[in-house]
A and B are shown apart, each in its own frame.
Chain A
């Protein structure tokens, strides 16, 4: 059974850093495309980043240069390193598996990041 479990969210001051983790089971993270999607309180979904199976990465303009997506094959885990955090980064962050032919077919339960002083 495919499962994605995010951890690492919390309250952080503006300008701070946080690393989110997404532990996967039921499939191998490095063999699939993996993505982060976020949702600000009361708002819609915003795509954040993707890492392809070949390790190419892409980012939304809103996080480019501040966020880094990566994965650890030995831990079968996806990460999102978030630096220089801003109030507008406050959101629930979901990791999701992206299958090229079907879209985001599995999602985690999300982890809340709150950027506030």
Chain B
């Protein structure tokens, strides 16, 4: 099983600041099968980034993804009020598909 570790656990920032979230895999993951989601309270997760760096439909360009192998990063260039949420990375290249434990981005 591929274990995904996310850091930090919580990121406290102000609107307008830059957020950098990390996802590390226990073994190499194909970039094609690495995705990022965010989830707001009481809502279903929403796909943000797929293929490690491609934005999903309707996702603003302040969201960007990068990385390869075992280290991946999600960057939010300037936080908007609606971006405060929990962010999960996921690999779906090998069963069992696994999610990271999540990074909470909250208001400082």
Contact = CB atoms under 8 A, between A and B. Distances in A.
A90 to B, nearest CB: 17
B88 interface: yes
A53 B29 CA distance: 23
B37 A104 contact: yes
Interface string B82-95: 00001010101001
A103 B44 contact: no
Contact of B96 (A60, A101, A102, A104): A60
A103 B99 contact: no
Given A104-B47, A104-B92, A105-B47, A50 B97 contact: yes
Contacts, number: 63
A7 B101 CA distance: 26
A105 B44 contact: no
B56 A58 contact: no
Contacts of A61: 96
B32 A101 contact: yes
Contacts of B74: none
A104 B39 CA distance: 13
Interface in B46-62: 46-47, 50-51, 54, 56
B69 interface: no
Interface string A83-117: 00000000000100010011111011110000000
Contacts of B88: 44-45
Given A44-B101, A44-B102, A102-B35, A58 B95 contact: yes
B16 interface: no
